[in-house]
Amino acid sequence: MSELNATHNAKLRSWVASANALGTDFPIQNLPYGRFRAAGSADRFRIGVAIGDQVLDLKACGLIDTDDMNALMDAPGDQRQALRKALSEGLREGSPQQEAWAKALSPQSSTELTVPCCIGDYTDFYTSVHHATTVGKQFRPDNPLLPNYKWVPIGYHGRASSIIVSGQPFTRPQGQTKAPDADVPCLGPSRRLDYELELGWFIGRGNAQGQPIGIADAEQHLFGVSLFNDWSARDIQGWEYQPLGPFLSKNFASTVSPWMVTTEALAPFRVPFERPAGDPQPLPYLDSSANRALGAFSITLEVLLQSAQMRAAGEAPVRLSMVNAAQAAYWTPAQLIAHHTVNGCNLQPGDLLGSGTLSGPEAGQAGSLMELSAGGKQPIVLPNGEKRTFLEDGDTLILRGWCEAEGAVRIGLGTAFGTVLP
């Protein structure tokens, strides 16, 4: 596990003034990675680090010699630590690199950002027991949580090609649906379009096929985290998911935030992983003293909605829910990696593991509209009087995330947002 060091010092300040602003997502203690180029250009995407409202070109300032983010992610842990140390020292107030590195800075507002790495494979998990129970009650009132849930990190393989970067709109999907009172299904646009509040955990170093990753080594293969929204067509899902699971209801679009916050940056925000009293403890391959002690991550997550009508009237987005990932997740990232590879599956740099919808036990902590509106039975009333059971055309859905802890500087994950097109 990543340990605290001088790069986490709460007293550090940067010569990039915006990195010292109260509430910024990207202070010098964060230093997340992404890929950028000048807005409107056809240049090759380069590797950058967010610092305040700027992005630092790592190749231009001489820290790396590649534009391949996946190659950087594949670097051993000591090399990653050394790069973070060099970045921290070069961006601090009084650094001798200031004059040279200032030429490698670009305002984020003048850049185009893309998905933070080349995502080869994508697996979506189902780590929130509260989400699984609430949704299960809608389909199986007498047996909401299936018996394997507390033993197996449930997941399915998604489609990486349709993962898009924050800000990119997407078209409402169509597919087969079947109304309860209909004799036959029909083809048409989804009427129960939903979001899913998730975290996306990125793999750094991979493993050879046939060589499982033990839980004690799992975090050596974990690079970092982004916000993730696995858009879901609930009506298509309800008709197609038996017996093999999600297909067209999930693979039309998933939105990821452009910055990967590294596990090194998350070190001050680790918390114990605890199972509720009376629940079974994980099997040995999913259990370790280190995972129990500090295997979870305290990340506050927020969901906001802005309708087309609100946007036209200049009204700000409204919060739908807020939850802490540590409270919501039943499995840790290390457990997901250990389980994913226990059969010999080979992970590769840039692979993405979605957490699944993260919901807490309270009504205002739900990570989807299907939960918030009780499957469409209890419409949500927005401040301007509009009602929502599921997403309408023109709606913009925004995810935000940040970490706070006593004695540490707040860091953020940025935002992940998308707008529904007709």
**Which residues belong to the active site?**
131
Q: Kindly compute the dihedral angle of the four CA atoms of residues 188, 321, 128, 330, in this order, to the nearest 10 degrees.
A: 170
**DSSP structural state of residue 411:** E
**DSSP structural state of residue 153:** -
Q: Nearest Cα to 229, choosing from 420, 393, 375, 362?
A: 420
For residue 268, is it left (φ>0), alpha (ψ between -120 and 50) or beta? alpha
Rounded Cα gap, residues 302 and 252, in angstroms: 23
The amino acid sitting at 287 is: D
Q: Which two tokens stand for residue 394?
A: 């023109």
Count Cβ atoms below 10 Å from residue 293 Cβ, excluding itself.
Answer: 13
Rounded Cα gap, residues 12 and 28, in angstroms: 7
> Which ranges of 248-362 does DSSP label H, i.e. alpha helix?
289-294, 308-312, 325-328, 333-341
Q: Nearest Cα to 113, choosing from 163, 66, 167?
A: 167
Q: What are phi and psi of 340, to 5 degrees?
A: -60, -30
3-state secondary structure of 221: helix
Rounded Cα gap, residues 52 and 137, in angstroms: 44
Q: What are phi and psi of 362, to 5 degrees?
A: -95, 160
Q: What are phi and psi of 394, to 5 degrees?
A: 90, -15
Q: Kindly compute the dihedral angle of the four CA atoms of residues 241, 164, 365, 369, in this order, to the nearest 10 degrees.
A: -50
User: β-strands 352-354, 122-125: how paired?
Assistant: parallel
Q: Nearest Cα to 245, choosing from 174, 157, 185?
A: 157
